[in-house]
Amino acid sequence: MRCVVTTGDGRCELKQRPVPTPAPNEILVKVEACAQNHTDWKSIALHKQPGNIVGSDFAGIVISLGSAVPPELRKVGERVAGAVRGNINPNGAFAEFLVTDPALVFTLPPDVPFEVAAQLGVSCYATCQALYQTLRLPTPLEPATTPEDILIWSGSSSMGHYAVQFAKLSGLRVFSTSSPANFDLVRSLGAEEVFDYADSKTARKILAATGSKLRFAVDCISDGMTPVQVSGSLGKEGGTIVTVLPYQSRKKGVKTELILVYSMWGEDVELPIQLKGDPSHYQNAVMYNRMISEMLEKNMLKFGAIKVLPNGLASVQDGIEYMKSGKIHAEKIVYRISDTPDLV
């Protein structure tokens, strides 16, 4: 099969590798499209080991079941999407085939294109870990009856796009930030008010809008000035900020909680950071995949914009350089496997 493999020097290249064989408790998926995340290039840069297959987010078709997979759980021919722990092992999403846990994928309705569905995995999983696993807020399937305020910092980011929607569907009153060019987009996703992330007065404006009572925030960037900005937005009594990169708030009464999608397998994580495994994270992930399947079936989500690069997997290194340059705004880079040229 054609796949994108790490070279060991922080880069990757298109190679041929054998099609993986599913273990008894795994499924084999023919990948139709895959999407790029910041964790892909960062993991490649940190983990300079050759031979790993790149990529986490995927969408495709189940083509075989391991001998122990219950037939009522997954079916051959089923359209699915999700994420795998690519970049640090020889099973990644930037490949023609991958193996994965049958309980850690969600079902795609027939009207959702694979190219669009490929964006969902990491963003939706991180959103669920933030809102439900960490903050323990109500879910879209059992929404709150009394709205609670929440701040989603960077509502136009890949994760923010879904965090705003999930929070709104969960019955929360959502405040968010973006560039002014994306205000209308973030409002359309469910944000009550959207503020300019670059405005030095934004934290004070959010304090005023929430009556200085904001207790919950999700920092979808967790870098640069956002630790100060998000902390400054929380009320006098403090609260909790969910982060995607580790940091500690300097504001009294404010605690930070780090999430990592790789933790959803319930096993110890060594890269991109060390994290002790928690079996409850696996059980939560199984529940989240069922919930996302139901939400898709009910047409509850608005999909983000995608940018399909030409030449499929042969364009991955170009896509990584494009992402590292900071040129991506409110869109997801996607690769269509069928666009990949044959290797000579």
The CATH number of the domain holding residue 11 is 3.90.180.10
> What domain range is 220 assigned to?
124-263
Instruction: Give the chain's domain count.
Output: 2
Q: Are residues 33 and 53 in the same domain?
A: yes
Model confidence pTM above 0.85: yes
Q: Are residues 131 and 258 in the same domain?
A: yes
Asked if residue 149 is part of any domain, the answer here is: yes
What pLDDT, on the 0 to 100 scale, is given for residue 344? 60
Q: Are residues 128 and 259 in the same domain?
A: yes
Q: Are residues 143 and 172 in the same domain?
A: yes
Last residue of a domain, one of 232, 263, 294: 263
Indicate the SS3 state at residue 258. strand
Asked if residue 198 is part of any domain, the answer here is: yes
Q: Are residues 138 and 249 in the same domain?
A: yes
C-alpha span between 79 and 187 (Å, rounded): 31
Q: What is the 3-state secondary structure (H, E, C) of 125-165?
A: HHHHHHHHHHCCCCECCECCCCCCEEEEECCCCHHHHHHHH
Q: Which helix (H) or strand (E) holds 152?
A: strand 149-153
Cis peptide before 272 (omega within 30 of 0): yes
Q: Are residues 312 and 239 in the same domain?
A: no
Asked if residue 273 is part of any domain, the answer here is: no
Q: Are residues 138 and 91 in the same domain?
A: no
Last residue of a domain, one of 248, 263, 278: 263
Asked if residue 9 is part of any domain, the answer here is: yes
Last residue of a domain, one of 263, 291, 313: 263
Could you read off the pLDDT tens digit of each residue along the chain, which spans 344 residues?
999 999 999 889 999 999 999 999 999 999 999 999 998 988 888 888 899 999 999 999 999 999 999 999 999 999 999 999 998 889 999 999 999 999 999 999 999 999 999 999 999 999 999 999 999 999 999 999 999 999 999 999 999 999 999 999 999 999 999 999 999 999 999 999 999 999 999 999 999 999 999 999 999 999 999 999 999 999 999 999 999 999 999 999 999 999 999 999 999 887 777 888 899 999 999 999 999 999 999 999 999 999 999 999 999 999 999 998 888 888 999 999 999 998 76
Asked if residue 269 is part of any domain, the answer here is: no
Q: Are residues 37 and 100 in the same domain?
A: yes
What pLDDT, on the 0 to 100 scale, is given for residue 175? 98
What pLDDT, on the 0 to 100 scale, is given for residue 273? 75
Structure tokens at 171: 């019955």
Asked if residue 281 is part of any domain, the answer here is: no
